[in-house]
Amino acid sequence: MNAEHDLSILASFLRRMAPEVEGHDMGDPPGDIRARLDAFAAGRAGAGERAALAALLKEHPEWIRHLGRAIRARAA
């Protein structure tokens, strides 16, 4: 498995389960990280950046909520 595959699985899950996915919001990530996650959600992140973001999300799983919102906003 690689980071791109892991994030693809997450995006697929969020699309299928969007109304049912809930959690405790621990706040949004810092501005610089938000910008990187937004770029990823828009498909503008290269392979290296996707891998770096996957590592950050493993360290800070509370930021996945922000990524999920960004992906859903673009899918709407």
Rounded CA separation 45/49 (Å): 6
- pLDDT tens track, the chain, 76 positions: 576 777 788 777 777 766 655 555 567 899 999 999 999 999 999 999 999 999 999 999 999 999 999 998 988 7
The model carries a pTM of: 0.67
CB neighbours of residue 37 within 10 Å: 24
Q: Where are the domains of the chain?
A: 43-76
CB 57 within 8 A of CB 64: yes
